Amino acid sequence: MTPPTAPSTPPPVLLGDAEVRARLTPATATAAVRHALLEHQAGRLAAPPRVHAGLGGGELVFTVGALAAEGTTHGIPGVHGFRAYGTADRAGEQLVAVWDSASGRLTAVVHGHELGPRRTGAIGAVAVEALARTGGPGGCRLGLIGTGPQGWAQLWALSASASHRPAEIAVFGRRRERAERFAARVREELGLAARAVDSARAAVQGREVVIVATNSPTPVLEADWVAPGTHLSTLGPKSTTHYEIPPELAERAALIVTDSPAQAGSYGTDHLLGPTPLTALGAVLAGTAPARRGRDDITLFSSVGLAGTEVAVAAALTRA
């Protein structure tokens, strides 16, 4: 008698940069990270600080997350997984692996350069929506310092925002020609009114939203350029020896928010904002912590990367 054939297990979905660019929308990414932030606040997303494994000339870094299953209303299954990337080559690819928590089956593997910045962009867009003033009828005026993939992903995510889609964008980069190309790409691919400006000051002054996304070890703006009522997001270096924003800006801010207080706290006294009380973005979203109190408040978002959000975005991508 022939024994019954065991049901085959479908192989994991394998996705690269081309698939991420084609299939991941800003709406999908921002919905996934907003859900993850709220679940983390509710204690249903396990998101420990990242782990560093020494490799001699560099490190292999892991971020791990486990997202509990949502109720029957939405029917989103529980998932867990990790992201891994190396530090020896800053341009190296990242890998995100996702498991279905109920079955233990590996469901997706996403590799390349695209998912990480777009996940960070989605977190930034959620922060802007939660903390920034709304702009005029046409949207907010935004200033961007930095013309790399992280700056691009912030604009990509905000391009689908119902409340804070940028009406105009002033872009500054160290090389004018690169800023011109970046602004042209924003206009062509995102349909946003973007232009290159001659100075960081011109990108900052008079803006409701300012995004700083550089690798600079020294401040790229001055605190008194930031007008009352501005929201500023910082994505680059924020250690006590390398920092892209001036410490005085933290002193002017009425509220400083981060996506992961645990990750920010893991830097200890080496973090530029370490001594400052940091509010969790998830708490603001859940309404358990105040957001902007007054129209003239300066709000500051310190993006550090909540572990598990990349797993949540990868899982949502495979369901899309």
Q: Quick one: average pLDDT of 41-59?
A: 90
Mean per-residue pLDDT of the chain: 91
Position 2 pLDDT exceeds 50: yes
Q: Quick one: average pLDDT of 121-135?
A: 94
Q: What is the per-residue pLDDT across 195-206, written as a single tens digit (0 to 9) for each?
A: 999 999 999 999
Report the C-alpha gap between 24 and 150 in whole angstroms.
Answer: 16
Q: List Cβ neighbours of 282 (8 Å cut-off, separation of 6 or more).
A: 37, 38, 40, 41, 259
pLDDT for residue 269: 64
Q: Quick one: average pLDDT of 298-304?
A: 96
Position 74 pLDDT exceeds 60: no
pTM assigned to the model: 0.93
Q: Which residues pair with 257 in a beta bridge?
A: 279, 301
Q: What are the tokens at 86?
A: 């190396």
pLDDT for residue 262: 84
Q: What is the per-residue pLDDT across 233-278, written as a single tens digit (0 to 9) for each?
A: 999 988 888 899 999 999 999 999 999 988 887 766 677 776 678 9
DSSP label at residue 12: P
Q: What is the per-residue pLDDT across 188-231, written as a single tens digit (0 to 9) for each?
A: 999 999 999 999 999 999 999 999 999 999 999 999 999 999 99
Strand 106-112 versus strand 51-54 pairing type: unpaired
Q: How confident is the model at residue 73 (pLDDT cuts 50, 70, 90)?
A: very low
